Chains A and B, each alone.
Chain A
Amino acid sequence: MTEERSEEYTRTGPSISCTDTHICVNNLTKIFKKDKSETVVLKDFSLDIRKGELITIVGPSGCGKTTILRLIAGLIEPTSGAVLINGKPCTAPGADRGMVFQDFALFPWRSVRKNVEFGLEIAGIPKEERRERAERYIIRAGLEKFIDSRVHELSGGMKQRVGIARALVGHPDVILMDEPFGSLDAQTRNIMQTQLLKILDKTDQTIVFITHSVDEAVFLSDRIVVLTKRPASIKEIIDIPWPRPRDRADPGFTALRKKILAELEEENVMEN
């Protein structure tokens, strides 16, 4: 396992330049059929995601972001097209692609520790090692005081840190995050973004991050994919080579945010 890789690999420092394709979303079409009505959510959608990058996807509400993520996770099947991971087609969910959910999806009958251990249990890792690894990630998430707490005793931000630790602890190659901070208040959200970068620091996972918040996207990403309204197609892909942590007050930051917001505005206007 190459969890903690090279020295210079940091997400809080300058972003690395990565070029190898990790996930190849190839000509995906997804149509939801119900009785006679059809919803074409994706039509011939393609996107290359590079190894080790943090890529965010923004787009108008209902354009198909969650659908893209669930297709990559293997939780739903495409109508046509394929998702290739390291060149191999993927059809079913697996422990190589961890997922963080907007409403946390923690198991309320398990303690924090047991939630984080879930995937390790499934993988058949011996008890001692399981405990030790889970503890390491819980400490990284700053939750050591709550390690034996039940989930309902935690705040929203703490819950999501458990969700992130649970997804990370099995060292998946890919982490899929669907508006992970969407249900948190603005202040907690900003704190969580900084903490996420710290937790992810020195890991080489590929992260696909969906958000409604342009500010969040500009703060976190190596690249931002801006989608059109449904059926989603790529409006623009923006590289952000700036070092992290980023200053939200920086003129470049504000300008980029404005530009993306204007693009999304266009999509929304067209809808009306």
Chain B
Amino acid sequence: MVSWTLNIKYDENNRYHRFLRTVVITVISLTIFIMVWWMISVIADIPAIPTPLKTWNALVDLYLHGDMVTSISLGQYIFSSLSSFLKGVLLAFVISVPLGLVLGYSKFMRDFSNPVIELLRPIAPIAWAPIFVLALGSSLGAIMVVFIGVFFPLLTNVIFGVRKIDPNWIDAAKTLGASQMKIFYKVMIPAATPYIMNGVKVGLGIGWMCIVAAELYRFDGALPGIGFYLAQQAQNFNWPSAYAGLVVIGILGLLTIGVADYIHRILSKRMGMDV
């Protein structure tokens, strides 16, 4: 009989060990999740909770043959969702960041805009969905819902980032001859960048929830997204396919936030800040 022991000690400073640890933990965690799901579906024994296997089969089917009813492929659904999502995020970024920099810098502008911001912020972005989609069409409507979802968390983070800037950095720049404009470009923007990225990270999560909500209201001829597919399948009581839609949404969300998290970490490190 051959007997052997795996004699490895976990070393926090070894990046392969760290990577392996993450992989092992992730696999175990997902396995437990799928097993619990399986158990619930077997015990409940109702069609609305299909087993993971049935869901998987529906997902493979969607991947191979697309949507039988609309003859739209999975790729097209994903493309449509991602494209509205990214446009909404970009629009929010282009508006929130400059606005946040100004509001963070100027107390007057902050006090001036605060009542409006505080009035609009508590409204759930999803509440805007029917209004935007019906008023602007499925495509632009979805973009605008994402925009609202990303706009506020991003704005709040940018303002926070600017206000956290060490006043000594500004004084140092002044004594090195910097004008207000140069201080803005060379001190405020780089100093606020990690906070901006944190806002993007938070915003992406919320934006992703918004896109699916907005797609439920599709009524015109624009290429529909994955949320539409999910809603259609659920309305036809086609549960495994509806769950397959959920899985796709979950994975896409995970990937987008993963990318943002990665960029945030790299930037914070470059800025010499600990995450």
A residues with a Cβ closer than 8 A to B are: 73-75, 93-95, 97-99, 101, 103, 105-110, 118-119, 121-123, 150-152, 166-167, 170, 176
- Chain B residues closer than 8 Å to A166, beta-carbon distance: 172, 176
- A73 near B175: Cβ-Cβ < 8 Å: yes
Tell me the smallest distance from the CB of B59 to a CB of chain A, in Å: 44
Q: A93 touches which one: B166, B174, B193, B270 (CB < 8 A)?
A: B174
Q: How many positions in chain B have a CB within 8 Å of any CB in the partner chain?
A: 21
- B175 near A151: Cβ-Cβ < 8 Å: no
Residue of A75, A110, A122, A176 with most chain B CB atoms under a 10 A cut-off: A122
Of B70-78, B182-190, B250-258, the one touching chain A = B182-190
- B169 near A75: Cβ-Cβ < 8 Å: no
- Chain B residues closer than 8 Å to A106, beta-carbon distance: 172
CB of B168 within 8 Å of the partner chain: yes
Q: B191 touches which one: A98, A109, A123, A152 (CB < 8 A)?
A: A109
Q: B186 touches which one: A99, A105, A118 (CB < 8 A)?
A: A118
Q: Measured between alpha carbons, how far is A109 from B178 in the docked complex, in Å?
A: 17
CB of B177 within 8 Å of the partner chain: yes
Q: B272 touches which one: A98, A103, A151 (CB < 8 A)?
A: A151
- B272 near A75: Cβ-Cβ < 8 Å: no
Smallest Cβ-Cβ distance to B167: which chain A residue:
A105
Q: Measured between alpha carbons, how far is A167 from B174 in the docked complex, in Å?
A: 12
B residues with a Cβ closer than 8 A to A are: 166, 168-169, 171-178, 182, 186-187, 190-191, 193, 270-273
Smallest Cβ-Cβ distance to A96: which chain B residue:
B177
Q: Measured between alpha carbons, how far is A93 from B187 in the docked complex, in Å?
A: 16
Q: Measured between alpha carbons, how far is A99 from B182 in the docked complex, in Å?
A: 18
| Known contacts A99-B171, A118-B186, A152-B272; is-contact A105 B166 (Cβ 8 Å) | yes
- Chain B residues closer than 8 Å to A107, beta-carbon distance: 169, 172, 187, 190-191
- B177 near A170: Cβ-Cβ < 8 Å: yes
Q: List 9 A-B contacts (CB under 8 A).
A: A74-B174, A98-B176, A101-B171, A109-B270, A122-B177, A151-B272, A166-B176, A167-B175, A170-B176
| Known contacts A94-B177, A99-B175, A118-B186; is-contact A108 B168 (Cβ 8 Å) | no
- A122 near B175: Cβ-Cβ < 8 Å: no
- A122 near B176: Cβ-Cβ < 8 Å: yes
- A121 near B186: Cβ-Cβ < 8 Å: yes
Q: Measured between alpha carbons, how far is A151 from B166 in the docked complex, in Å?
A: 15
Q: Measured between alpha carbons, how far is A150 from B182 in the docked complex, in Å?
A: 22
- Chain B residues closer than 8 Å to A152, beta-carbon distance: 272
Tell me the smallest distance from the CB of A117 to a CB of chain B, in Å: 10
Tell me the smallest distance from the CB of B38 to a CB of chain A, in Å: 48
| Known contacts A101-B168, A118-B186; is-contact A108 B175 (Cβ 8 Å) | no
Tell me the smallest distance from the CB of A150 to a CB of chain B, in Å: 5
- Chain A residues closer than 8 Å to B173, beta-carbon distance: 118, 122
- B177 near A123: Cβ-Cβ < 8 Å: yes
| Known contacts A73-B175, A103-B168; is-contact A108 B271 (Cβ 8 Å) | yes
Tell me the smallest distance from the CB of A76 to a CB of chain B, in Å: 10
Q: Measured between alpha carbons, how far is A74 from B178 in the docked complex, in Å?
A: 13
Q: B175 touches which one: A93, A103, A121, A150 (CB < 8 A)?
A: A93
Q: Measured between alpha carbons, how far is A121 from B186 in the docked complex, in Å?
A: 10
Q: Measured between alpha carbons, how far is A94 from B175 in the docked complex, in Å?
A: 5
- A109 near B193: Cβ-Cβ < 8 Å: yes
- Chain B residues closer than 8 Å to A108, beta-carbon distance: 271-273
- A105 near B190: Cβ-Cβ < 8 Å: no
Tell me the smallest distance from the CB of A112 to a CB of chain B, in Å: 11
Tell me the smallest distance from the CB of B264 to a CB of chain A, in Å: 14
Q: Measured between alpha carbons, how far is A152 from B270 in the docked complex, in Å?
A: 11
Tell me the smallest distance from the CB of A156 to a CB of chain B, in Å: 15
Q: B176 touches which one: A74, A109, A119, A176 (CB < 8 A)?
A: A119
Smallest Cβ-Cβ distance to B270: which chain A residue:
A109
- B172 near A99: Cβ-Cβ < 8 Å: yes
